[in-house]
Amino acid sequence: MRFVLDEDQRDFAAALESLLAASDTVAVARAWADGDHEPGRKLWGRLAELGVTSLATEATPVEVALAFEALGRYAVPGPWVESAAYLPTALGREVDGIATLALPPHVPYALDADVADEVYVGSTPGAEVGDRVTSVDRTRHLFRVTGDGETHDDAFDLAVLATSAQLLGAGERVLADAVTYVKQRKQFGREIGSYQAIKHALADVRIALDFARPLVFGAALGEVPASAAKVAAGDAAYLASRTGLQVHGAIGYTQEFDLSLWLTKIRALVTAWGTPAFHRARLLDGLVG
Please state the rounded mean pLDDT for residues 199-219: 96
Q: Is the pLDDT of residue 1 over 80?
A: no
CATH number for the domain harbouring residue 161: 1.20.140.10
- Residue 246 maps to a domain: yes
pLDDT of residue 191: 77
Find out whether 168 and 67 touch, Cβ atoms under 8 Å.
no
Q: Domain for residue 35, yes or no? A: no
Better-predicted residue by pLDDT, 1 or 39: 39
C-alpha distances in Å from residue 36, one per residue of 30, 42, 235, 261: 9, 12, 32, 16
Count of positions (residues) in the chain? 289
Task: Give the C-alpha separation, 112 to 137, whole Å.
Answer: 12
Number of domains within the chain: 1
Q: What percent of the chain has pLDDT over 90?
A: 83
Inside any domain, residue 136: no
Helical segments of 137-193, H only: 153-184
Four-CA torsion 284, 276, 40, 141, nearest 10 degrees: 120
Whether 193 shows a pLDDT value over 70: the answer reads: no
Is pLDDT at 113 greater than 60 in this prediction?
Answer: yes
Does residue 146 sit within a domain? no
pLDDT at residue 111 is higher than 60: yes
Q: What's the rounded mean pLDDT across residues 110-134? A: 92
**DSSP designation for 189:** T
- Mean pLDDT, residues 210-238 taken together: 97
The answer to whether 106 and 274 have CB atoms below 8 angstroms apart is yes
Give domain status of residue 182, yes or no.
yes
Q: How far apart are CA 271 and CA 121, in angstroms?
A: 19
In the predicted model, is pLDDT for residue 200 greater than 90?
yes
Q: In this structure, is residue 137 part of a structural domain?
A: no
Is residue 115 predicted with pLDDT exceeding 90? yes
pLDDT digit string, tens, across residues 238-258: 999 999 999 988 777 788 889
Q: Is residue 43 part of a domain?
A: no
The span from the CA of 63 to the CA of 79, in Å, is 18
CA distances from 214 to 66, 222, 226, 233 (A): 13, 12, 12, 10
- In this structure, is residue 22 part of a structural domain? no
Q: What percent of the chain has pLDDT over 70?
A: 97
7, 209, 19, 116: CA torsion to nearest 10: 120
Mean pLDDT score of the chain: 94
The predicted model gives 139-166 an average pLDDT of: 95
Mean pLDDT in residue range 39-59:
97
Residue 202 is part of which domain span?
Answer: 153-288
Q: What is the pTM of this model?
A: 0.95
List, in sequence order, every beta strand (DSSP E) within the chain. Answer: 99-102, 110-111, 118-121, 124-125, 128-133, 142-146, 186-187, 190-191
Average pLDDT over residues 209-229: 97
C-beta separation of 268 from 140 below 8 A: yes
* Cβ atoms < 10 Å from Cβ of 69: 26
Across residues 195-215, what is the average pLDDT?
94
d(CA 52, CA 64): 8
Rounded Cα gap, residues 175 and 58, in angstroms:
32
Q: Give 249-282 pLDDT, tens digit per residue.
A: 877 778 888 999 999 999 999 999 999 999 999 9
pLDDT of residue 186: 63
